[in-house]
Amino acid sequence: MYEPIRSPSVHSAADGPTGIPHRSRAEALDIQLAGHLAALLAVTDELRAAAPATDLDTAAELLAGQVARLRDGQAPTRAPAAAAPAAPDLAALHERAHTLAGRALVVAASRADTAAAILAARRMDAHAAALEPRELAARGCTALA
C-alpha cells in the first residue's frame, strides 16, 4: 500500500549524537546577548551622529568590545557617522536604547556575565537620565526639572 522510504532522512546527516543539530544554552545566550548589545551599539551610533558626546563615544567603544568578545573577536558592523537622519527624534532613540539595554541586562544576568550586565545597567541609567527632564516637563513638573 505504501512505498518504503529508500533515501536516507535529511535529519540523519546532522551533527550530534541524536542527529539533530543544536546549541547549548550558554551558546544560545551568547548569541542573544551579542545581538542585543549590537542593536544597542547601532542606536548609540545613531545618537552619537545626532548629538555627539564623549560619554556616547565611550559607551560605543565599550559596547563594541563586549560584542567582539561574545563573537570570538569578530568586530561588530558599525554605521558610518554621516548616515544619521537629518532631524532624528532624540527622545525616541533614547527610549529604544533604554529598552535594548534592558533586554541585554536580562540576558546578561541569566548568563551570569557581570561585565555585560554592568555595562547594560549603566546604559539603562544613562538613557533614563536623558529622558527624565523631558518626561517631567511633559507631566508639568517643571519645578523638579
**66, 37 Cβ separation under 8 angstroms:** yes
Task: Give the pLDDT confidence of 96-137 residue by residue, as tens digits.
Answer: 999 999 999 999 999 999 999 999 999 999 999 998 866 544
- Asked if residue 8 belongs to a domain, the reply is no
What is the number of structural domains in the chain?
Answer: 1
Per the rule left: phi > 0, alpha: psi between -120 and 50, beta: everything else, 126 is: alpha
- Asked if residue 9 belongs to a domain, the reply is no
- Asked if residue 100 belongs to a domain, the reply is yes
- Asked if residue 3 belongs to a domain, the reply is no
Q: What is the number of residues in the chain?
A: 145
**49, 83 Cβ separation under 8 angstroms:** yes
- % of the chain exceeding 70 in pLDDT: 70
State the burial class of residue 92 (Cβ atoms within 10 Å of its Cβ: 0-12, 13-18, 19+).
exposed
- Asked if residue 1 belongs to a domain, the reply is no
- Asked if residue 51 belongs to a domain, the reply is yes
Residues 64, 27, 35, 14, CA torsion sign: positive
- Asked if residue 53 belongs to a domain, the reply is yes
pTM: 0.75
**pLDDT for the residue 141:** 43
Q: Which residue is listed with cell 546527516?
A: 13
Range of the domain at 67: 23-76+85-138
